[in-house]
Amino acid sequence: MSKKPLLLSPAGSFAALKAAIDAGADEVYLGGEMFNARINASNFDRQALIRAGELCRDSNVALHITLNTLIYDKEFKSVLDYVSFLESNVRPDGLIVQDLGVARTIRREFPALALHASTQMRIHSHLEADFLKRLGFTRAVVARELPKEDIKRFAETGLETEIFIHGAICVSESGGCLMSSVIGNRSGNRGECAQPCRLPCKGENKYPLSLKDMCLASHVTELCEIGVTSLKIEGRMKSPDYVGGVTSVYRRLLDENRNATADEIKYLTSLFSRSGFTDGYFTSKINKSMFGIRREEDKQRSQSLPPFKKAVKRPPRERIIPPAECNVPKRDESKTLHPGKQKGFVLRFEGRLPSAEFLKKHAPNSARIDVPLRKCTDARLAPYVEKLSAIMPRSIFVAEQETVKKQLAEAKAFGIGRATVSSIAHLELCKDMILHGDYALNIVNRESLDLFDELSLSSVMLSPETDGKFVRFSRCALEYIGYGRTPLMYTRTCIIQNVEGCKNKSECFSFLTDRTGAKFPILSGPSHTNVIYNSLPGYRLDRRSELKKSGVGLITLLFTTENEKQMDEVISLYQSGEKPTFPYTRK
């Protein structure tokens, strides 16, 4: 039988920290005043962090500190000063990190500190575990979207596996949402999410993006069997009463090795819910029942259980010793294309493919043509196969791997030798292909870029959350979106179904209309996944000379809803560098 999982509770304040410990948490996680994904929580100043470390050590409770945001180059000195303070004065049991460049630097500069890969890192596959181990991580917080089988497979890799079991969940994959950043100038990857998914939209369904909170209290015995290390409660923005109440229920369930009763579920609902709870991701029942909002009746619920008893002092947990050094493979130039051979514009078709006539006119002049894997063997693309790169699906669950492998085999038989990748798992699936790094890799600093350089990528696309001008030089060709609607959300739930009903077609398309009347296109992907794009296209083609000075040699023209006349116009604008006559945004 697997070892009983640890219980990990949130602490957005010192009072919440004490409530979590008193209610029986084995571990707690909290953030300082900067570099954490809940920057609007009360959080802990330096003196409070020192006190928190002392309290946790006295209580034999492990302390994890969040450092789970993307970091710009100009902030690295501050980050390293902060980590030095934590190591010397707080002595955390783990740092929860999103940014791969930051992780690599911490492993090099502070080798005694344990690193935990944040859910913001978009960890969707057991195929990522080996890379994380080699980079020096001792634990991974896997994506909330994972079903039971995928969690089990990840736990079998031997890397400590942490999963969310209760609390708020994002409709977009964590670490992959740009909606708050692009439309509200508050980046979710920087701890400033404005929660646009909770706002009303126009249409029959006023809240098509708002998910219920997760609750896996009815699956505790299953979680104990599949080998996960730690069960995590979300809630650093919640009250001490909430933290203590939720922690006490799961403590009791773990100690008694059972699932929650109906009364216990009612009690959890009374603490906080949005039209009830969902376990849809864990059970693979992804449908409309997962969605809900915080109603007045949810706020008025009242259900009590006997007060939880203060937990007995637990024996100290054995500390995980981090690996001595990173073990990342060095760049293999024989598997890459030289940047000098990758210049010009990239045609990227995420909507319908254009006609053979359009391709004949423009494809020969392009540096590369990016097409989703499931579409890349279309006959009209055959004359340009040497330029084709298959865009890999953003996440690939265990149940989908055979389909993806078959599609990759068909692409290779078609003559395609390139793949556009957006996750570490793709590096393994596409290891015998020329690799191009996608925007979802979240490259915003030099250290992250250097890491992917060593992983033998031929090109990398810089994050849309940067201005694209921070690099200067790389052995990879540098790429940036010069035109196109920025992809704001990648969802594992079908938003099109919420907006107008699913037609079960391979090419579903719809619009999400927000309260201001702005229309955001939604395109369907494999397994009813959706991508929601910005209401206006971003336009930066008039800044090509600035980007070129920073080493950006590839400019992506991202097409989604455009007709061929509009695409012709964009390509002409690329050549002229003029500003367009159509509405656009700089984001």
Helices and strands counted in the chain (H then E): 19, 23
**Is 574 in contact with 364 (CB distance < 8 Å)?**
no
Q: Is 8 helix (H, G, I), strand (E, B) or coil?
A: strand
Task: Return d(Cα 210, Cα 372) in angstroms, integer.
Answer: 28
Tokens of 480: 């940036």
Query: Looking at the predicted structure, is the pLDDT value of residue 299 above 90?
Result: no
- The secondary structure of residue 66, as a DSSP letter, is E
Task: Return d(Cα 194, Cα 181) in angstroms, integer.
Answer: 9
Tokens of 181: 């950043």
**Is 221 in contact with 257 (CB distance < 8 Å)?**
yes
- Residues 273-284 have pLDDT tens digits of 999 999 999 999
**Is 83 in contact with 110 (CB distance < 8 Å)?**
yes
Tokens of 405: 């492998």
Task: Return d(Cα 124, Cα 513) in angstroms, integer.
Answer: 29
- Residues 11-31 have pLDDT tens digits of 999 999 999 999 999 999 999
Q: Which residues pair with 8 in a beta bridge?
A: 27, 232
pLDDT at 313: 60
Task: Return d(Cα 535, Cα 518) in angstroms, integer.
Answer: 6
C-alpha closest to that of 555 among 542, 541, 538, 569: 541
Query: Looking at the predicted structure, is the pLDDT value of residue 308 above 70?
Result: no
Q: What are the residues whose beta carbons fall under 8 Å from the beta carbon of 357, sequence distance 6 or more?
A: none
pLDDT at 224: 96
Longest dimension (CA), the chain: 74
- DSSP per residue, 68-132: -S---GGGHHHHHHHHHHIIIII--SEEEE--HHHHHHHHHH-TTS-EEE-GGG----GGGHHHH
- The secondary structure of residue 34, as a DSSP letter, is S
Instruction: With cut-offs at 50, 70 and 90, classify the pLDDT of residue 266.
Output: very high
Instruction: With cut-offs at 50, 70 and 90, classify the pLDDT of residue 539.
Output: very high
Name all domains of the chain by residue range, CATH numbers in brackets. 6-169+211-300 (3.20.20.70), 176-210+487-533 (no CATH), 333-484+538-576 (3.20.20.70)
Query: Looking at the predicted structure, is the pLDDT value of residue 305 above 60?
Result: no
- DSSP per residue, 318-370: PPPPPPSS--PPPP-GGGS--GGG--EEEEEESSS---HHHHHHHGGG-SEEE
**Range of weakest confidence among 172-176, 250-254, 352-356, 491-495:** 172-176
Query: What would the mean pLDDT of 237-241 be, rounded to a whole number?
Result: 93
Would strands 459-461 and 388-391 be described as parallel, antiparallel, or unpaired?
unpaired
pTM of the model: 0.95
- The secondary structure of residue 23, as a DSSP letter, is T
- Residues 166-184 have pLDDT tens digits of 999 999 998 899 999 999 8
Residue 502 CB: number of other CB atoms within 10 A? Answer: 17
Query: What would the mean pLDDT of 460-473 be, rounded to a whole number?
Result: 90
Tokens of 348: 């990227």
Task: Return d(Cα 394, Cα 525) in angstroms, integer.
Answer: 10
Task: Return d(Cα 65, Cα 10) in angstroms, integer.
Answer: 11
pLDDT at 1: 45
Conformation bin of residue 227: beta by default, left when phi > 0, alpha when psi is -120 to 50: left
- Our measurement of the distance from residue 194's CA atom to the centroid of its chain's CA atoms, rounded to an integer in Å, reads 16
Task: Return d(Cα 142, Cα 122) in angstroms, integer.
Answer: 7
- Residues 187-222 have pLDDT tens digits of 989 888 989 999 999 988 999 999 999 999 999 999
Which residue would you say has higher pLDDT here, 510 or 318? 510
Query: Looking at the predicted structure, is the pLDDT value of residue 303 above 80?
Result: no
Query: Looking at the predicted structure, is the pLDDT value of residue 314 above 70?
Result: no
Q: Write down the residue that tokens 């596959």 correspond to.
A: 125
Q: Tell me what the pLDDT averaged over the chain comes to.
A: 93
Query: What would the mean pLDDT of 52-77 be, rounded to a whole number?
Result: 95
**H or E element at residue 148:** helix 148-155
Query: What would the mean pLDDT of 355-376 be, rounded to a whole number?
Result: 98
Query: What would the mean pLDDT of 70-99 be, rounded to a whole number?
Result: 96
Q: Write down the residue that tokens 């390293």 correspond to.
A: 80
As a whole-number percent, the residues of the chain with pLDDT over 70 amount to 95
First to last CA, the chain: 51
Instruction: With cut-offs at 50, 70 and 90, classify the pLDDT of residue 320.
Output: confident
- In degrees and rounded to multiples of 5, residue 172 shows phi and psi of -90, 155
Task: Return d(Cα 329, Cα 131) in angstroms, integer.
Answer: 10
Query: What would the mean pLDDT of 502-527 be, rounded to a whole number?
Result: 88
Give all strands of the β-sheet with 487-491 in edge-to-edge order. 487-491, 530-533, 519-524, 509-513
**H or E element at residue 141:** strand 137-141
Task: Return d(Cα 247, Cα 561) in angstroms, integer.
Answer: 47
Instruction: With cut-offs at 50, 70 and 90, classify the pLDDT of residue 502.
Output: confident
**Is 148 in contact with 283 (CB distance < 8 Å)?**
yes
Cα distances from 331 to residues 95, 131, 197, in angstroms, run 28, 15, 40
Task: Return d(Cα 507, Cα 339) in angstroms, integer.
Answer: 35
Angle value at C-alpha 392, between 191 and 571, nearest 5 degrees: 90
Task: Return d(Cα 538, Cα 295) in angstroms, integer.
Answer: 36
Give the best-scoring range by mean pLDDT among 320-334, 411-425, 492-506. 411-425
Length of the chain: 587
